[in-house]
Structure 1
Amino acid sequence: MNEVALWELINESRYRMSLAQRRLWDLIRIDPEQWIHRSPTGNVSIWVVALIGRGVISYNDAENGFDRSSFVQYGEIVELGWGQDELEGAVQHVLNELELGYRTAPGISRPQPGEFPDGKR
C-alpha cells in the first residue's frame, strides 16, 4: 500500500471512531513510517501509524488490516499482531488494555509442526 492510500484509510477510520477512540488516537498517532519486520523468509516492510510504549499500531499489507505489534528497537518490529482489524478496532484494543490492565488484541500464533487438519474425521 502506498502512503496516500494509507492516509485515506486512516482518515476514514478516524471518522468512524468513537469520541474516546478519537481522543486516544490523537495522542498516540504518528505520521506513517515504514519499519522493518525480520522474518525467517526475509525482511518485510510494515507501516507504523501509532506508538504506545514498546508497542505500535501498524498496517499489515499481507493481511489488509491494522494490528498491535511490539518492538525493542525503534524502526524494527519484533512481533507482528494478527493484522486484520480496522484502525478503530486496534485503537479500541489499546483502550481496553488501559482499562483492564492486560492485552485484549489477538496475537499471531507460532507455526505448529504436524499436518494441517482438514476438518474431516
Structure 2
Amino acid sequence: MAEWKPISITELYDQILKTETDLTGELWNFWQLIKITPSKWIEKEYGDEGDGFWVVAICGTKIIWYNDIEEGFNISDYKNYGQIEGYYCNQDELNWAVTRLFDLIKFGGEIIGQAGPPQNLA
C-alpha cells in the first residue's frame, strides 16, 4: 500500500478549476464572493500529519476546506482565523460543498448530510 501524502497545491487547483467550469448563475456568483487563495489551516485532531488542511472559501464563520485524508471537501466553523473547528470526513466534490453552504445561507438551518468525525468503536 502506498504511503499517504497530502494533496499538492497543483492538484487542489485542478479540482477548483474543474468545479469553476461547472458552476453557473447564483452558485457561480456565490463562489466568486467566498473563494480565497487556498491556505493551510490548523486542525487539532487529524491535521498534524499533513501540516493542516487547505481552506478554499470563507463565508462568515464557515469555511470550505479539503480533507486530503478522506479526499473530499467539507464545511466547518471557525472562531480563530487559521484554525478549523470541527473535523469532518465527507468525500464531497467542491461543487456539492458550495451548494450546501449556499443553501444553508439561503434557507437557514443545519447542514444536512455532513459526516462527522470517526467514532471510536472500542
Equivalent in 77, 81, 84 of residue 74 of structure 1? 81
**Structure 1: 5+ residue runs without aligned partners?**
115-121
Equivalent in 60, 67, 70 of residue 67 of structure 2? 60
RMSD, matched Cα: 1.8
Looking at structure 1, the residues matched to 103 and 30 of structure 2 have their Cα atoms a distance apart, in angstroms, of 11
Residue correspondences, number? 113
| TM-score, structure 1 normalization | 0.83
Larger-gyration structure (1/2):
1
| Seq. identity, % | 29
Secondary structure at the counterpart of residue 48 of structure 1: strand
Q: Is the 8 A contact 1:93 1:103 kept in 2?
A: no
1:17-28 paired onto structure 2 within 5 Å: 17-28=23-34
Distance 1:5 1:109, change over 3 A: closer
Q: Is the 8 A contact 1:31 1:49 kept in 2?
A: yes
**1:94 and 2:101 are equivalent in the alignment:** yes
Would you identify which runs of 4 or more consecutive aligned residues in structure 1 move more than 4 Å?
Answer: none
**1:111 and 2:122 are equivalent in the alignment:** no
Q: Report which of the two has the higher share of strand.
A: 1
**Structure 2: 5+ residue runs without aligned partners?**
1-6
Q: Is the 8 A contact 2:47 2:53 kept in 1?
A: no
Looking at structure 2, the residues matched to 54 and 13 of structure 1 have their Cα atoms a distance apart, in angstroms, of 23
